[in-house]
Amino acid sequence: MIQQPAFPVEPWAIRETELRLATLAQSESVFALANGHIGLRGNLDEGEPYGIPGTYLGGFYETRPLPYAEAGFGYPEDSQTVVNVTDGKILRLLVEDEPFDVRYGVLRSHERVLDLRAGVLRRTAEWVSPTGRQVRVSSTRLVSFRQRAVAAIEFVVEPIDGRFPVVVQSDLVANESIPDASGDPRAAAALAAPLVAEEHDCRGTRAVLVHHARGSGLRVAAAMEHLVEGPDGATTVTESFPDLGRVMVTADVAPGQSLRIVKLLGYGWSGERSGPALLDQVAAAGAGAAHTGWEGLLAEQRAYLDEFWERSDVEIEGDAELQQAVRFGLFHTLQAGARGEQRAIAAKGLTGPGYDGHAFWDTETFVLPVLTYTAPHAAADALRWRSQTLGLARERARTLGLAGAAFPWRTIAGEECSSYWPAGTAAFHINGDIADAVIRYQAAGEDPEFERTTGLPLLVETARLWRSLGHHDTSGMFRIDGVTGPDEYSAVADNNVYTNLLAQRNLLAAADAAEAHPRHAAELGVNDEEAASWRDAAAKMMIPYDSALGVHSQSESFTRHQMWDFESTDAGEYPLMLHFPYFDLYRKQVVKQADLVLALYVCGDHFTDEEKARNFEYYERLTVRDSSLSACTQAVIAAEVGHLDLAYDYFAEAALMDLDDLEHNTRDGIHIASVAGTWVAAVGGFGGMRDHGGRLSFCPRLPSALTGLKFRLLFRGRTLHVDVNHSHAGYVLLDGEPLEIEHHGQTVRVDANHTLELEIPPIKPRDPAHQPAGRAPAQRRPPR
Ligand code: BGC
């Protein structure tokens, strides 16, 4: 586990001042750079040692067969796995003839800094070689937000104690060996040499490699170009082989002099384009980067991030560590989607191979709510990706005997890749999650083109799915039986509240959209009768409620199940799914992650305040948080119902998930939903922001430990700035026409350049809520 002192607290950076080989893999995830298209793990420049080497391209995958001991109809036959593509990060240094390798000689100093404003990873190291030579190595790495096919590294070598020959070998390497997968189902399938060489070429200080993935046939090209500045007499040798491109720079360097190499990388991939076409594409990317130059790339990166922070920053007053973590989370959320351009946003972004690089509902439910209000173009692109896979989702629905579209539980390219159907195909709520993300994006922006071409088909086809998946029972109620909700410790249950409420919203939104766009809806075959059937189903939606307990039942009969024996469960037996059979988890009251509590947030307009409080307290006793997707939601509802200090503990847990490696698997990649959830916990929790019915409302309230919270967000082309302290909230538009919002239930108008100061009404203190034995979140303050 990464110990906190390795990352001193500072507002705009994550800094590591000591290299700990035992936690190298975790730090590679934390220091990963990505733009949604290219992802580079924070591997050391010299390639070794490494935890997990990783270079990923959004949407690039290899197929692998899914083995079944007992097959069943409709089980997917193949899965898709993210590929560690051609590695261009490597710059090996030889001092005299001794390779710079931190495992040998003496590493006198080491520092890596992820700079959240500059968008770069900087490293400096001073090393004494086994033969006693002292050298300083500095590198700065970026994955460009502006030029999406480009990454670049500046690498500088300076001798400290005398003149000596240095050699820098700058590599492009395909088919690196990667460590074997662990037995943890959340890790990735290890692929041995998945790339087949097609072409290699080199000239001057350039080299390029073209490969295709053996099973998927997808083709990838990687090119590198170098700008070298060194003492007179520096020489270069360039060579290429099927799996290796190498530019070798040799120079005699004296103290006070340096050898500086700027390495420009261009990446491209395609399922259609030929090798020569891809070669041209990456050559063009490299030429573009060379034209911009290193300083230009840095300046562009800074400008892109300046704009991002200007409209999206969240300021936490009173907890410097969480301030850092919130910005870290926003940065990684942006990195996951910024230039995804119609490819999936994976659960780990492009930071590691965890979950095989698959995208889940994490995207629509946790990441897109953040991107919708901070980088809406990225949210729209992620939804366009879903709509591009509609053909596959329709086919999947047909296989399942259903109408409309059934989107995959986990995938890279759109095909269902889940082999465990109770927590895969049965998790139909993903379709409602997608619809909900469409509804939110459309309400927050003004994008009529998107509504017609992307939103409408997604809403219509998911509504059709619900209409065929559910049925009206003899009393006329609309039931959706045999589905799995967000809580994966219950499966194949009837009438999951979260699922049914989202389905209801989805059905109504589809009917409304069809009415708003009659011509386009007719092209999709929607007629009045069909739209009316959606409205009927929505009106009669079954929402289970246990009147004896006075709470909603997560799914029908859930509240009558036997309680899990929390008292006898050891701390070491969590996560439960790694220590107990699913059959036992499924038949007892134990909740892996917020499910009914997520419904209280996402569909909060369906519940009264009293229902929210009772439901929260009931499910709080059952929720073990064996998923990183839970804490942020618990934070939001704990804050809403008045457990503000508990909310603060959950907020901290979501925020520190990866910086503190709380689930011990940050090595496999950043938990993008959790880091995005940090924004949700701050803005939705302490800002009390909701967007039900396309209207923004706020019920801000701070926990005792915070003195202030400020955030900005984009809504219908305006930037709204909210500034909260314990007694008041201030609202102001930084630009644009006046906007109506709600503050604690009161409708108000917010104008540009004039802060509207409103009082925060006091809240009734609540008795503490209780968690399962041993599962309370770590307390961030003195006992409540
Ligand atoms: C959670 C899912 C989630 C997946 C990927 C699982 O542990 O239960 O809800 O989609 O991880 O993050």
> Quick one: three-class SS letters along 239-253?
EEECCEEEEEEEEEE
Mean pLDDT of 313-329: 97
Q: How far is the CA of 427 from the centre of ligand 1 (A)?
A: 11
CA 671 to ligand 1: nearest atom: 12
Mean pLDDT of 298-306: 98
**Mean model confidence pLDDT for the chain:** 96
Q: Is the CB of 441 under 6 A from ligand 1?
A: no
Would you tell me the crossing angle of helices 644-656 and 672-679 to the nearest 10 degrees? 140
Pairwise CA distance, residues 598 & 366, whole Å = 11
Mean pLDDT of 515-528: 97
Say what the pLDDT of residue 196 is: 97
562-563 and 588-589 beta bridge pairing: parallel
Say what the pLDDT of residue 479 is: 98
Q: Is the CB of 267 under 6 A from ligand 1?
A: no
Say what the pLDDT of residue 3 is: 46
CA 592 to ligand 1: nearest atom: 8
Cβ atoms 394, 460 nearer than 8 A:
no
Say what the pLDDT of residue 784 is: 40
DSSP string covering 421-463: GGGTTT-THHHHHHHHHHHHHHHHS--HHHIIIIIHHHHHHHH
Pairwise CA distance, residues 668 & 500, whole Å = 33
Mean pLDDT of 301-319: 97
Of 757, 743, 739, 733, the C-alpha closest to 699 is 743
Pairwise CA distance, residues 330 & 471, whole Å = 41
205 burial level (CB within 10 Å; 0-12, 13-18, 19+)? buried
Of 82, 351, 362, the residue with max ligand 1 atoms within 8 A of its CB, to mutate for a pocket test, comes to: 362
pLDDT tens digits, one per residue of 684-722:
999 999 999 999 999 999 999 999 999 999 999 999 999
Sign of CA dihedral 773, 775, 780, 784: negative
CA nearest ligand 1 atom 7, residue? 627
Pairwise CA distance, residues 102 & 338, whole Å = 34
pLDDT tens digits, one per residue of 373-396:
999 999 999 999 999 999 999 999
Mean pLDDT of 157-175: 96
Cβ atoms 60, 94 nearer than 8 A:
no
Question: Does 575 sit behind a cis peptide bond, omega within 30 degrees of 0 on the bond before it?
Answer: yes
- φ, ψ of residue 30 to 5 degrees: the values are -60, -40
CA 358 to ligand 1: nearest atom: 5
DSSP string covering 572-592: GG-SGGGTS-HHHHHTEE-BS
The one-letter amino acid code at 354 reads G
Q: Is the CB of 366 under 6 A from ligand 1?
A: no
Element at 166 (helix H, strand E): strand 164-173
Q: How far is the CA of 355 from the centre of ligand 1 (A)?
A: 9
Q: Is the CB of 629 under 6 A from ligand 1?
A: yes
Say what the pLDDT of residue 765 is: 81
CA 410 to ligand 1: nearest atom: 10
Q: How far is the CA of 367 from the centre of ligand 1 (A)?
A: 13
pLDDT tens digits, one per residue of 758-782:
999 998 888 999 999 999 999 996 4
Element at 230 (helix H, strand E): none
CA nearest ligand 1 atom 12, residue? 347
Mean pLDDT of 41-45: 98
Mean pLDDT of 441-451: 95
Q: Is the CB of 43 under 6 A from ligand 1?
A: no
pLDDT tens digits, one per residue of 360-371:
999 999 999 999
CA nearest ligand 1 atom 11, residue? 627
Element at 712 (helix H, strand E): strand 708-715
Cβ atoms 594, 486 nearer than 8 A:
yes
The model carries a pTM of 0.97
Is pLDDT above 70 for 750? Answer: yes
CA 627 to ligand 1: nearest atom: 7
pLDDT band at residue 281, thresholds of 50, 70 and 90?
A: very high
Of 381, 328, 374, 408, the C-alpha closest to 654 is 328
Is pLDDT above 50 for 241? Answer: yes
Is pLDDT above 80 for 645? Answer: yes
Of 629, 668, 671, the residue with max ligand 1 atoms within 8 A of its CB, to mutate for a pocket test, comes to: 629
Is pLDDT above 50 for 1? Answer: no
DSSP state of 778: P
pLDDT tens digits, one per residue of 539-597:
999 999 999 999 999 999 999 999 999 999 999 999 999 999 999 999 999 999 999 99
DSSP string covering 320-369: HHHHHHHHHHHHHHHHHHTT--SS---TTTTS--GGGG-B-THIIIIIHH
pLDDT band at residue 783, thresholds of 50, 70 and 90?
A: very low
Q: Which residues pair with 122 in a beta bridge?
A: 113, 140
Q: How far is the CA of 485 from the centre of ligand 1 (A)?
A: 11
Active site residue 415: no
Say what the pLDDT of residue 190 is: 63
Q: Is the CB of 595 under 6 A from ligand 1?
A: no
Q: How many C-beta atoms surround the C-beta of residue 82 within 10 A?
A: 29
Instruction: Please identify which of the residues 488, 530, 617, 640 carries the catalytic annotation.
Output: 488
CA nearest ligand 1 atom 8, residue? 627
pLDDT band at residue 6, thresholds of 50, 70 and 90?
A: low
Torsion, Cα 583 589 593 595, to 10 degrees, reads 110
